[in-house]
């Protein structure tokens, strides 16, 4: 095994161009489990630990740009929570402090597990992934990046540079079901993001399909039934909440596995959809706007 430790993005791309089959190592929290158990024996490893620019975080014209090697612990910072609170909520549910100190948002995306904790949130926020590689620098919408279970749109020689997240004003909810509050892989998870300016709702689901995915039909059904004000959104017909939750659950395609059953997952998603909506949206007639 040859381990390369580049220090810049250009060096990393050059290393990957020379050995396109190389394993890209970020936080190691997924990859090293496979190496330890002998499931992976990469000949070449390109380690991102020294590439400081991959940990850069900035806000550009209403977009939060997170370097791909941003750790979950870094996602807990108040500056992130202020502009994308659901990302912070999801990051806090990942593993333990030890895992959050090592694992990265780029690793979560590249692993592309249907249970990846940040994926439903990033989908609901409308995030995109910035990639560089043999095909050049490009951006891919996250729903197109997640092409299958543990399969992403990354091609050999590609490097994920950053995750681009539109900053949205309005309530954001993240809910996750598991057997503990820590060290748990989601049995089911859901993110709901309201954008008071665009007057849209995004709903991302995790662990209830081959990939994390958007419950787009449920969001489209809900949006015209909402009454929008500058600082809040209401659902006049409270009974619509149950229909909405049913539509979200209908979008789920869960399976039975060692963590849970399809039946329970569908139930959990329906409850979470209802709960997230109740937290984000005022039920009943909208209050008169304050004058």
Partner 1 sequence: MNAYPLRVNGVEHDVVDAWDGENLLYVLRERLGLPAAKAACEQGECGSCSVMVDGRLVCACLVLASSAIDADIVTPEGIQPSAHGELTPVQDAFVSEGAVQCGFCTPGLVMAVHDLLNREPAPSDLAVREALSGNLCRCTGYGRVLAAVNRAAHAAAAAR
Could you list the residues that contact partner 1 (CB under 8 A)?
Answer: 1-3, 5, 25, 27-29, 32-33, 35-37, 41-42, 45, 47, 49-50, 73, 95-99, 101-102, 181-183
Which tokens belong to 237? Answer: 């017909």
**Cα dihedral 43→46→47→50 (10° resolution):** 150
Do 34 and 120 touch, CB atoms closer than 8 A? Answer: no
Distance, CA of 70 to CA of 90 (rounded, Å):
14
Distance, CA of 44 to CA of 66 (rounded, Å):
26
Nearest alpha-carbon partner for 201 in 173, 175, 176: 173
Do 215 and 247 touch, CB atoms closer than 8 A? Answer: yes
Looking at the Cβ atoms of 106 and 171, the one nearer to partner 1 is: 106
- Torsion sign (Cα): 274, 280, 284, 285: negative
Length of the chain equals 291
**Cα dihedral 49→6→110→259 (10° resolution):** -40
Distance, CA of 269 to CA of 103 (rounded, Å):
26
| Residue 138 CB-density burial (10 A; 0-12 exposed, 13-18 middle, 19+ buried) | middle
Q: Which residues 6+ apart lie within 8 Å of 248 measured at CB? A: 190, 203, 205, 215, 218, 269, 270, 273
């Amino acid at each position: 095994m040859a381990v390369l430790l580049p220090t810049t993005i250009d060096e990393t791309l050059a290393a990957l161009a020379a050995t396109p089959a190389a394993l890209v190592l970020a936080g190691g929290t997924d990859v090293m489990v496979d190496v330890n158990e002998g499931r992976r024996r990469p000949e070449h490893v390109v380690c991102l630990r020294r590439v400081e620019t991959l940990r850069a975080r900035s806000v550009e014209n209403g977009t939060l740009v997170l370097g791909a090697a941003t750790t979950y612990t870094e996602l807990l910072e108040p500056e992130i929570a202020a502009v994308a609170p659901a990302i912070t909520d999801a990051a806090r549910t990942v593993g333990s402090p030890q895992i959050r100190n090592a694992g990265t948002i780029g690793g979560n995306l590249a692993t592309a597990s249907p249970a990846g904790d940040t994926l439903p949130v990033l989908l609901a926020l409308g995030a995109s992934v910035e990639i560089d590689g043999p095909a050049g620098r490009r951006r891919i919408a996250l729903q197109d990046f997640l092409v299958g279970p543990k399969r992403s749109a990354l091609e050999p020689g590609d490097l994920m540079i950053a995750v681009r997240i539109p900053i949205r004003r309005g309530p954001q909810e993240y809910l996750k079901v598991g057997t503990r509050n820590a060290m748990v892989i989601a049995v089911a998870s859901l993110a709901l993001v309201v954008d008071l300016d665009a007057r849209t709702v995004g709903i991302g689901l995790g662990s209830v399909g081959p990939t994390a995915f958007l419950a787009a039909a449920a969001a489209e059904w809900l949006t015209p039934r909402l009454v929008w004000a500058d600082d809040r959104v209401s659902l006049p017909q409270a009974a619509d909440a149950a229909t909405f939750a049913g539509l979200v659950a209908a979008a789920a395609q869960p399976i039975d596995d060692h963590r849970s059953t399809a039946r329970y997952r569908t139930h959990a998603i329906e409850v979470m959809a209802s709960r997230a909506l109740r937290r984000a949206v005022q039920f009943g007639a909208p209050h008169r706007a304050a004058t």
